[in-house]
Structure 1
Amino acid sequence: MRTPPLPLAEAQGRLLALAPQLTIEHRAVSECLGHYLAESVTSRRTQPAAPLSAMDGYALRSDSLPGPWQVIGESAAGHPYAGTIERNQSARISTGAIIPQGANMVLLQEDTTREGDTLRLTGTPPSPTDRHIRPAGMDFVGDSILLEAGTKIGPAQIALAIAGGHSHLPVRRPLRLTVIDSGDELVLPGQALNAHQLPASNGPMICAMAAALPLAITHTGPIADNLTDLAAALEAAHDADLIVTSGGASVGDHDLVRPALEAVGASIDFWRVGIKPGKPILVAKRGSQIILGLPGNPASAYVTAYLFMLPLLRASLGAAQPLPRTIPARLAEPLAKGGSRMEFLRAQWDGTTVTLDPLQDSGALSPLSRANALVVREAGADAKPAGMDVPVYLLENGGIA
């Protein structure tokens, strides 16, 4: 398995090709937040179903300008006027109300005066192209695609689906994720520590990164650097769709993820990717189950979870675009020449410029807590002066899904 590290794009492509095919279920729209549509959704109605007023005022016929007009009724939202508007007639109308038969424009109420049932124009009438009417079908028409398959369902998508006549939506069932911490040096958060020990922080961090997605998450560990114990933890998670381990994926004497995977019948798909931090990432398969072995250093675990775990989760749940995208950002300071691997540098982005954190060690957590961006430096890239654009991944909400 001591093969050359894979390029990032190839490794991501190989991993996404293994994404589990989760079954489709139809959930109440109100329960679909954070899911991805498994199938495209078509509108079952037209919106608006009839022309509506965009303003408060008076509905009338444009050929009766400049008035005056007789006010013969009212059209309110939910209570349309049943009659027909003839020349020199008008109906009081509110925003969102149906335009009465015969009317083709709305005078704003601030452009009029009314004495009893007589309405007069005092302001400027609307132009022929701006008559303050929302035409039928302005938003969408029946039998048109409202939302494409793979769309992430947020508050606006929930509202659109309901407006389109849907009470349930097709989504993938929640994915079963098990996260396993391993390492003799790890102890549970809050426990007393000796100098050689560390609080087990990677597992909670990885769980938190995934928590916004529709998952059933199990967190196990920390597990000692013991082949029997680690194999037992993997075996106990046999019902998970995805197992993510943290630590033990490298080549040291105490890195036991690979032999433990072999002990439970998993086969290694690939190991090592040409990135920094995060080179010793491992991907294995056991039946339909995927095992993703992340490095133990916290920055390495974070970056690989961002670049591999989250895209795999999104792909499994049906996302049309599972991979994160970069944006260009201007360097606030010079960027040194790249090394032998593609690098992901923790940084702060202010909306225009990006500033590298001075501490880039993969064992440091404080740069992660300060970072809202990862600057991408390609392997062997030339040095770049301040003011030049570089590709950046934005870690919105700390990089969670």
Structure 2
Amino acid sequence: MERRNFLRVAVVGTAAAAFGGASWAEAFAAGAQPGPSPYGPPQAVDASGLMIPAGFTSRVVARSGQKVASTSYTWHPAPDGGACFADGGGWIYVSNSEVSSTGGVGAIRFSSTGDITGAYRTLSGTNVNCAGGATPWGTWLSCEEVDRGRVFETDPWGVTAAVARPAMGRFKHEACAADADHGYVYLTEDVTDGCFYRFKPTTWGDLSTGTLEVMVGATSQTSGPVTWKVVPDPDGSPTATRSQVSGAKRFNGGEGCYYAGGTCWFTTKGDNRVWAYDAGASTISLTYDDSLVTSGTAPLTGVDNITRSTSGDLFVAEDGGNMEICLITPNGVVAPFLRVPNQTSSEITGPAFSPAGDRLYFSSQRGTSGSSSGGITYEVTGPFRR
């Protein structure tokens, strides 16, 4: 059967309600295709070095190796996955550091008006902290992207010491997403024959114990029902977690992961796909595949971190490509939202919205220098759809 015939997004019920009645299943029946952005095209390069739509503004909030404004904290190298947490009337943006041995997590605190009021470390001395995910109980899960890497649960306020969560599996972690509706945390694995996992805590809100499972299905399968099997040894030694379960479905380079409204979206960089897992029906489908674009050039390549706006638009960052953050709307349009020009040796990381949904944070991991010491973290403010 042609791959195009598999292109569906099975998101119904609670998801439709979450998107104001728009059904992703109907919108993507023909596949996410290029079209005009609801925000218009990116404009000429602004003072921050970004190309953003008309009506939006931007600023640089941090640079690797330099003190964050009005603080004593030196922003970490290679900023990667990130998330925002409400902090009274303000918020906190946390960011991983994807470097060996001295990785970890840093945080920037903002007032209700967006002024920077603090910056600090919440995790130190870990290894290649790539992406992760926020929990409903207000912690940040920071994932190590190394063989037998760990997940660390960290406190965005920097008060409680970070704790390793080995029950969530030791493998080459990328990202994770908490599903409070069904009581799971989903996890991606960044290898060419990686798997998609879910962790069921013994007690929701406590990640110290639980059951790790892996998705089971044909590797060629792009839609339809899937099942899950328990990973016998989450420690991953001597046998890697992805090699312990017969029939585990393979994904080509798992990257970003985000849960909302009954669906977990995740990306795979090896084939430039955005997937959707319907948690209620236990089915998978494709939201986007660059090889299935039917007209013009695929706008989204090098898929990586993913997040979602309050309106239901997905925002997908590029690792390479032409250094864009592209959006995928609930009506099946994929289009560039912004571009980071003149930084071809970098990648875009850590997209996350402020709690109010009017500010988008992200980083260029290696900036203009092409080195982990040249990271730049940005804020874009404007009339995001609600």
Question: TM-score interval w.r.t. the shorter chain?
Answer: under 0.3
Higher helix residue share: 1
Question: Which structure is higher in RCO with an 8 Å CA cutoff and minimum separation 6?
Answer: 2
Higher strand residue share: 2
